[in-house]
Amino acid sequence: MSMQSEPRRAAQSMPPKRAGTLSGLWQQLARPEISLGIVLFVVLAYLVILPLFTLVRTTFTVTLMDSFRIPGAKVGELTLYHWRRIFRNLAIFLGPLRNSIIIAIGTAFIALLVGSSLAWLIKRTNIPGKGILNILAVTPYVLPSWALALPWLEFFRNSSVNCPAGFLQYYTGIQAPEWLVFGPVPIMFVMGIHYFPFVYLMVAGALENIDSQIEEASELLGASKLQTICTVTLPSVMPAMFAALLLSFSRTIGTYGTPALLGGPANFTVLSVQIRSFMQMNLASQAYILTILLIAISIILLYLNDKVIGVRKNYSLIGGKGFKARLNPLGKFRWLIFAICIMLLAIFVVAPLLLLVWSSFMSSSGSYGISNFTLHYWLGAPNPALAQGEAGVLRNPRVWQSTLNSLKIAFLGGLICAFLGMIIGYVVVRTRGSRFASVLERLSFIPMLIPSIAFGAIYLSLFSQRLGPFPALYGTFALMVLVVIGKQLPFSTRTGVSAMHQVAGELEEAAKICGASFLSIFREIIWPLTRTGFISGLMIVFVTIMRELSLFILLMSPRTEVLTTLTFRYAEISNQQLSNALMSYLVLVVFLVMGLTKRYEKYISSSKPR
């Protein structure tokens, strides 16, 4: 009797067990961080995974244009045609690959040399004028990456390269050699000047954390200043220097503007330029193969960065015994070194911008005297004899439309990015330590590994055709905003995670106990405490997109043209003065936006609840 009742009781207990399991699962899904996380996973899969999958699939698929090139092929069939075509003609990608690597290595080492030296002088010595040096040191990085390429051409071009006389030839009669006007040398130098602030900021942060007592101990043991720098200071900041070197390399290898302007006339082609060239020739699949190559290079660089830094674990110099920061005295040379730094930064940062502005007031190229002065490129009405019939910047409807497009795309993309970043930050922090949080955070980080022009190609491959219920988005405003969200999400996610770490979970738990809903908690507790991070995430995206070219060069259409693409278009057709005027206008807009951003951040910080 008892033996028969045991199975019966077990059978009776099974339905409640399943019910309890389902109830527990529903309770888990009802948690805001879990339900939001699932939604975010779907969104990130749509923004990141699906475009990557479509990109790779397209390289193995027969497109409509391919059906005319491949006998008997049908649209949608799998094929190795595109890969065979690339590898049978290795010059198609080996030449641009070699050139890209040369440019990236040269740029990275120039940036490392200048940025690290300046960081050491400002952070570890008693050089005067650190405030002005710091401002000048970071200025090139807030400009478009190819902003300095235009004044470079304005200064060095000459009749020997079939161009109007530049500033140098006009005033001195000296003709710069062709290798100094076009080709790898000017590309490396201009991009090195643009990226050295990136190295400066990373190395300066590492130098600030070095305890001077370690350096003093080295000197007490008989080491010279140079030996101390080489054996103590340099190894301590080596992780930051190596990371800056690799990140400069990876950013350079996918940049489009400067290599196109300074390399094109010399037939010096890099991967990013070749990708756009393939797209213009309706060879999208070959362009996507080169895009995969760029992505692979970026992933390898990230792996090397983690591997090298992970080899050694003794980089920690801040312990519990206190911290001392001592500045190295420069002695009687401190003012001389300051004057040299100011002079070099003025020559390579300030002077190019002044030359850019001055040239925009010259009626014709090749003359820089007062007699050639004109306001046409700023205020002039359309004139067939000037600027190919284009009106001046401030009277040009294309400029105003591009300005409006830039502002709308940057603001709307930044707003959505900042919102998604805050929500991802909330989910990651509240589920910290779980595999779910790790997957979500790494998924949001993937776009950072992909060069901008490659990311634009990925979105072009996915959204140039109908996708389920969604229509084709090529040439639309929606695609421009969508690519901004996908590419900039890693940066807004970082600010979101940092902001959410400042909000203790106990505040949320106390509100739940009092019966508050999640929306009430978010509105009354989380948002007031994290809005500074939200604004920071929005402004980071806004300023970055206002000067972005590579991300948009493959996606823009006449209706969605932005300031950077319009400026580059004028430069491509040799409308030099108008291009210089528009670049000056763009730089002014960027600095104005940054100034307003700083003021607003101060206002938000001062009004933040304590």
| CA distance from start to end of the chain | 70
pLDDT at residue 324 above 70?
Answer: no
> The tokens of 181 are what?
């006007």
What pLDDT is attached to residue 152?
92
Using pLDDT thresholds of 50, 70 and 90, give the confidence band for residue 316: very low
Asked if residue 609 has pLDDT above 90, the reply is no
Give which of 598, 561, 574 is closest to 480, Cα–Cα: 561
Average pLDDT (469-496) is 85
DSSP tag of 399: H
List all residues 6 or more positions away from 209 whose beta carbon is below 8 Å from its beta carbon.
317, 318
CA–CA separation, 55 vs 291, rounded Å? 9
Cα separation, 159 vs 142, in Å, equals 33
Within a domain: 541 = yes
In Å, how far from its chain's centre is CA 201? 15
Residues in the chain: 610
User: What are the structure tokens assigned to 448, written together?
Assistant: 């950072």
Q: Find residue 61's DSSP bridge partners.
A: 78
The amino acid at residue 315 is Y
58, two tokens: 């397209």
In this predicted model, which residue has the larger pLDDT, 369 or 310?
369
pLDDT the model gives residue 64: 73
Residue 69 — pLDDT band, cuts 50, 70, 90? Answer: confident
List, as one string, the DSSP characters of 213-250: HHHHHHHHTT--HHHHIIIIIHHHHHHHHHHHHHHHHH
Specify the pLDDT at position 606.
66
**Could you tell me if residue 519 is inside a domain?**
yes
The counts of H helices and E strands in the chain are: 29, 0
- 373, containing H or E segment: none
Phi, psi (rounded to 5 degrees) for 358: -60, -40
How far lies 66's CA from each of 277, 286, 292, in Å?
17, 11, 20
Rank 284-293, 520-529, 596-605 by mean pLDDT and report only the highest: 284-293
Look at residue 394 in the predicted model and tell me its pLDDT: 92
Check pLDDT > 90 for residue 342.
Answer: yes
Query: Is it the case that residue 509 has pLDDT exceeding 80?
Result: no
Instruction: Note down the domain range covering 481.
Output: 31-77+389-610
The whole-angstrom separation of Cα 151 and Cα 174 is 17
Average pLDDT for 247-258: 86
Across the chain, what does the average pLDDT equal? 81
In the chain, pLDDT over 90 holds for what percent of residues? 20
pLDDT of residue 26: 59
Q: Which residues share a beta bridge with 470?
A: 467
Residue at 370 is within a domain? no
5 in a domain, yes or no? no
Domain count, the chain: 1
pLDDT at 339: 93
- Split at pLDDT 50, 70, 90, the class of 80 is confident
Report the C-alpha gap between 85 and 290 in whole angstroms. 12
In angstroms, the Cα distances linking 20 to 13, 26, 473 are 11, 10, 46
Mean pLDDT of 436-445: 80
Q: Is 430 helix (H, G, I), strand (E, B) or coil?
A: helix
Q: Average pLDDT in the 507-517 region?
A: 77
Closest to 347 (Cα-Cα) out of 205, 167, 199, 181: 167
Look at residue 114 in the predicted model and tell me its pLDDT. 93
pLDDT, position 17: 47
pLDDT > 70: what percent of the chain?
86
Q: Inform me whether the pLDDT recorded for 18 exceeds 80.
A: no
Average pLDDT in the 292-302 region?
A: 82
Indicate whether 241 belongs to any domain: no
For residue 185, the model assigns a pLDDT of: 94
Tell me, what DSSP letter sits at residue 162?
T
Q: Is the dihedral of CA 304, 306, 309, 310 positive or negative?
A: negative
Question: Which residues touch 287 (CB under 8 Å, ≥6 apart)?
Answer: 274, 275, 276, 278, 279, 457
Q: Would you say residue 84 lies in a domain? A: no
What digits encode the pLDDT tens for the residues 543-590? 888 888 888 988 888 888 999 999 998 988 888 889 999 999 988 888
Lowest mean pLDDT among 95-104, 335-344, 376-385: 376-385
291-312: average pLDDT = 72
Instruction: Report pLDDT for 548.
Output: 87
Residue 99 included in any domain:
no
pLDDT classification of 315: cutoffs 50, 70, 90 = very low
pLDDT at 1: 43
Spatial separation of the C-alpha atoms in residues 350 and 143, rounded to whole Å: 12
CA pair distance 318, 347, nearest whole angstrom = 38
pLDDT band at 325 (very low <50, low <70, confident <90, very high): low
CA distance 552 to 459: 10
Model pTM score: 0.81
Classify residue 335: in a domain, yes or no: no
Q: What is the pLDDT of residue 310?
A: 52
Q: Tell me which residue of 583, 524, 274, 230 sits closest to 399, measured CA to CA.
A: 583
How many Cβ atoms from other residues are within 10 Å of residue 412's Cβ?
18
DSSP 364: S
- 212: tokens are 């001077």
Summarised one tens digit per residue, pLDDT across range 134-167 is 888 888 888 888 888 999 999 998 877 677 888 9
| Rounded Cα distance, 320 and 112, in Å | 32
- Separation of alpha carbons 150 and 157, rounded Å: 10
Q: What is the CATH number of the domain that holds 71?
A: 1.10.3720.10
